[in-house]
Amino acid sequence: MKYDLVLLHAPSMYDFRNKSLLVGPISDVVPSSPVFEMYPIGFTSIADYLEQRGFRVKIVNIANRMLQDKKLRCREKK
C-alpha cells in the first residue's frame, strides 16, 4: 500500500540495543509489542486530521522494528 505521509517515531536513544538501560517497574510488566505502542499525541492528531481529509497516513515505530529485526540498522546523524 502506498502512503501520502509516513511518520517515523524514533527511539529516544539510538543504540538502545547495545546499551544496558535502567528501566522502570512498568517496563518489566508491559511486554514490547505493537499492542502496547504509544505514539506522541501529535503524531496521532496529525494522522487523524489528514485521514479525515482523505490522505493515507502511517506511523512507524522504529524502536519496535529494531527489536523485531536484529539486523535492522538505522544510521545515526552526527
Contact 62, 8 (CB under 8 A): yes
Residue 25 in any domain: the answer is no
Residue 19 lies in a domain: no
Are residues 31 and 25 in contact, defined by beta-carbon separation less than 8 angstroms? no
Whether 27 is covered by a domain: the verdict is: no
Domain for residue 75, yes or no? yes
Question: What is the residue-wise DSSP string for 2-27?
Answer: --SEEEEE--SSTTTTTS-----HHH
Cα gap 57→48, rounded to integer Å: 8
Q: Which domain holds residue 54?
A: 1-12+35-78
Tally of domains within the chain: 1
Q: Which three cell numbers stand for residue 41?
A: 499525541
Asked whether residue 22 is domain-assigned, the answer is no
Residue 53 domain-assigned (yes or no): yes
Rounded to whole angstroms, the Cα distance separating 38 from 34 reads 9
Is residue 2 situated within a structural domain?
Answer: yes
Q: Is residue 8 part of a domain?
A: yes
DSSP secondary structure code for residue 14 in this structure: T
What are the pLDDT digits (tens) for 26-60? 555 555 555 556 788 899 999 999 999 999 999 98
Identity of residue 2: K
pLDDT at residue 6 is higher than 80? yes
Q: What is the pTM of this model?
A: 0.66
